[in-house]
Chains A and B, each alone.
Chain A
Amino acid sequence: MMEMFIDLLFILLKAFAIIIPLMLGVAYLTYAERKLIGYMQIRVGPNRVGPKGWLQPIADALKLLMKEIVIPTNANKFLFIIAPMLSIGPSLAAWAVVPFSEGLVLSNIDASLLYILAMTSLGVYGVIVAGWASNSKYAFLGAMRSAAQIVAYEIAMGFALVGVLMAAHSINLYEIVMQQSGGIWHWYWMPLFPLFLVYFISGVAETNRAPFDVAEGESEIVAGFHVEYSGMTFAVFFLAEYANIILIAVLTALMFMGGWLSPFQGIPGLESTFLAAPSIIWFLAKSAFFAFLFLWFRATFPRYRYDQIMRLGWKVFIPITIIWILVLGAVIAAKASYVTLGLCTVGIAGAYMLFNKLQTASRSS
């Protein structure tokens, strides 16, 4: 009995060792977002609290902690309070199976990819329940939009992951990363190039981020599903959203960019230096890059119209993923190497883009 409690205590400590850096990451991702978008729009962003505004996220958190939680009339009190928890619970639970580096994983379960997919698909409950329990038309509209959008993009996302597990012959994240070792051309972004794009864009849609943020859509429905939320309940939704962004960035890095493997691996001359060694630094750098893309998208793209979102999800992404699963199946059946497939894919994609560029250039001249 005593040993069991010590085990439990250790698991709890490890969980805290993941959650505390994650929460810090979330806090400073909001700061990075405001700063980066500020610079992209030729502003300075927050610069008052602390040196260069570094204490801004802490001041924001304190402010939200102090504020009153207003519960609207005729709102369903229990569901209204529980909705933010339903939102953040799954987004933290998913981190249990994420491997950070060789041997650095809280729970190396066999079906970790499925587990992640299951957990990320639960996040929508927070949004739907919040929208319904608020007893507000705007919140309800936001919840409806979000539910339809998340269900649509989850299918494309699931199919993209089917491609990954077919290529890796495993549904264990650790195993998927290890299968990609051997150099940058062995990483799955090359042979699974269309799935890589579909997965990342679906990830942006799944987290309700710009340009797919119709669930919040300030210009149309005020703030969507969290119109009625204030103080800490609002902050928890915010935390869940940013934790999900980091999760999607991390998963993209793990499944398509070789996780903690070094990009210099397999290059003659660098093979034996420290640059080619797998390390958590590579993993963090790749994840940070994808998180940066989320912020960049928000500063660049205008919001999609609702029918365009639905069209992109159902009529573009799902067919692409199905076709690519067939291609991958043929490659596996023919026992061809992924590297060949990858080079062909990226070559064709590059040629197509070049052709498009030339065509538009000749059209406009």
Chain B
Amino acid sequence: MTFEKIIFYLFATILVLAAVRVITSRNPVHSALFLVLAFFSSSALWILIEAEFLAITLVLVYVGAVMVLFLFVVMMLNINVDVMREGFIKYLPIGVAVAIISAIEMGIVITGNFSGDKSPALVRKGADYSNTEAIGQVLYTEYLFAFEVAAVLLLVAIVAAISLTMRKRPNTRSQNPSSQVIVKKEDRLRVVKMDAEGKGS
């Protein structure tokens, strides 16, 4: 067993265990943190297949931004796990059906196109080969249209989310920072000259 294989199995084991703990752990904050661990291990696996751009982006986008917001929300919720589990028996058949279908689909994909003997072996590139540049080249030429459609979709999602949650309340008071900044001492302060007041006067 080579050093690389040892590392692969180490991170793969951590990944699977963390993914299992995401759905079995009782505390939602623990689940979110296990998801972070799962992202991290899969990013390590991507580094092993020399996809360093994707690996770093996974950490940057999902761990560094998305999961922070996830944690932010989950920590403020007071989730009662028992209430969540009440309908467990009722929804069990549907859940099992979905699980079986996705297992079959995954099986088809794995035994079909991506099985070890059909896919070509990984081509090892030299250290001067830039993964980032290669992805940029195809992303902005061949797949430009798909890329821009995805960007617009995300923008639509942002606009939709904001318009759903934003409501104008008549009674809120807000400050106008630019008018606060522009204020000068003379506008607010008036120095008055007056005689000292004695005790007995």
Residues of A participating in the B interface, judged by any CB pair closer than 8 Å: 4, 79, 109-111, 114-115, 117-118, 121-122, 124-125, 128-129, 132, 140, 143-144, 147-148, 150-151, 154, 171, 307-308, 311, 363-364
Measured CA separation A316–B148 after assembly (Å): 26
**Majority secondary structure, B binding face:** helix
Q: CB within 8 A of A363: which of B29, B64, B184?
A: B184
Task: Report whether A110 and B130 are in contact in the complex, using a CB–CB cutoff of 8 Å.
Answer: yes
Q: Which residues of B contact A129 (CB under 8 A)?
A: 33
List A contacts of B175 (CB < 8 A).
Answer: 307
Which listed residue (A132, A143, A308) contacts B177, Cβ 8 A?
A308
- Per-residue contact bits, chain B 1-33, to A (CB 8 Å; 1 contact, 0 not): 001000000000000000000000000010001
- CB A275 to nearest CB in B, in angstroms, measures 34
Q: Please measure, in the bound complex, the distance between the C-alpha atom of A79 and the C-alpha atom of B21, giving whole angstroms.
A: 16
Q: Smallest CB–CB gap between B46 and chain A, Å?
A: 12
Q: Are B68 and A128 in contact (CB under 8 A)?
A: yes
Task: Decide if B60 touches A117 in the complex (CB within 8 Å).
Answer: yes
Query: Distance (Å) between the CB of B99 and the closest chain A CB?
Result: 31
Pairwise interchain contact B177-A115, C-beta atoms closer than 8 A: no
- Tell me the residues in window 56-95 of chain B with beta carbons closer than 8 Å to chain A beta carbons: 56-57, 59-60, 63-65, 68-69, 71-72, 75-76
A78 shortest CB reach to chain B, Å: 10
B65 — which chain A residues lie within 8 A by C-beta? Answer: 121, 151, 154
B132 located at the interface, meaning its Cβ lies under 8 Å from any Cβ of chain A in the complex? yes
By beta carbon, the residue of chain B nearest A79 is B33
Asked whether any CB of chain A lies closer than 8 Å to the CB of B36, the reply is yes
State the total of A-B contacts with C-beta under 8 angstroms: 70
When chains A and B are docked, how far (Å) is the Cα of A129 from the Cα of B30?
Answer: 10
**Chain A residues, CB < 8 A from B186:** 364
Given contact pairs A140-B75, A144-B75, a sample of 5 additional A-B residue pairs in the complex whose CB atoms are under 8 Å apart? A111-B52, A114-B132, A118-B56, A118-B60, A147-B71
Contact of A111 among B33, B56, B63, B75 (CB under 8 A): B56
Whole-angstrom distance between the Cβ of A363 and the nearest chain B Cβ: 7
- Report Cα–Cα, A140/B75, bound state, in Å: 9
Contacts of B64 in A (CB 8 A): 117-118, 121-122, 124, 154
* Residues in B whose Cβ lies below 8 Å from that of A4: 3
Chain A: minimal CB distance from B43 (Å): 9
Q: Which residues of A contact B131 (CB under 8 A)?
A: 110-111
Residue contact A151 to B76, C-beta cutoff 8 Å: no
For the complex, give the distance between the alpha carbons of A224 and B75 in Å: 16
Contact B36 A125 (CB under 8 A): yes
Q: Which residue of B lies closest to A8 (CB)?
A: B3
Q: Are A111 and B76 in contact (CB under 8 A)?
A: no
In Å, the complex CA distance between A154 and B61 comes to 11
Given the complex, which residues of B lie within 8 Å of A117, measured CB to CB?
60, 64
Q: Point out the residues of chain A lying under 8 angstroms from B52, CB to CB.
A: 109-111
Chain A proximity of B78: nearest CB distance (Å): 12
User: A208 to B73, alpha carbons, bound, how many Å?
Assistant: 21
Say how far A314's CB is from chain B's closest CB, in angstroms.
12
Please name all residues of chain A whose beta carbon is closer than 8 Å to the beta carbon of B53 when the two chains form the complex: 111, 114
**Most B-side CB within 10 Å, residue of A125, A140, A307:** A125
Closest to A78 in B: B30
Check B132 against A111 for contact (C-beta < 8 Å): yes
Which residue on chain A has the smallest CB distance to residue B36? A125
